[in-house]
Amino acid sequence: MAARVADNPDKSRFEIFEAVDEGGPEERAGFAEYHLYGKEMAFIHTEVDPRFGGRGLGGILARAALDAARDRGLEVLPFCPFIRAWIGKHPEYVELVPEGQRARFGL
């Protein structure tokens, strides 16, 4: 089963869902919490349940969340160390971080 990412604006986070076992029911495997302020989306915490470790779900979650921010025309402030590191490894996403803020995040 493929992972599914959904924005949950009531909880201010993107959530990733996948089955624990092949053919099993879908469960929330993790989330990327954000704070939305005007045209900025500040990512503050990302977490993947250890039961889902080693499946690359953190990267799928980061890509989907950042793609959603891009689609909405938002700037990204990666306070979350995981999101910040993921952007650092995928330079095509650095442009989402305002140029004047990139040094602050080591990007």
Q: Which residue has the higher pLDDT, 54 or 98?
A: 98
- Would 16 be classed as within a structural domain? no
pLDDT at 23 (0 to 100): 72
Which structural domain, as residue segments, surrounds residue 68?
Answer: 32-98
Averaged pLDDT, 86-100: 97
- Specify the DSSP class assigned to residue 49: -
Number of domains, the chain: 1
Give the burial class of 30: count Cβ atoms within 10 A of its Cβ; 0-12 exposed, 13-18 middle, 19 or more buried. Answer: buried
Averaged pLDDT, 86-106: 97
pLDDT at 6 over 70: yes
Tokens 């250890």 belong to 50
- Would 55 be classed as within a structural domain? yes
- Would 9 be classed as within a structural domain? no
The CATH number assigned to the domain holding 51 equals 3.40.630.30
- Would 10 be classed as within a structural domain? no
pLDDT at 52 (0 to 100): 87
Q: Half-sphere exposure of 90 toward its Cβ, with a 13 Å CA cutoff?
A: 15
Q: What is the pLDDT of residues 45-89, one digit of tens each?
A: 999 999 888 889 999 999 999 999 999 999 999 999 999 999 999
- Would 73 be classed as within a structural domain? yes
Average model confidence (pLDDT) across the chain: 94
- Would 81 be classed as within a structural domain? yes
- Would 23 be classed as within a structural domain? no
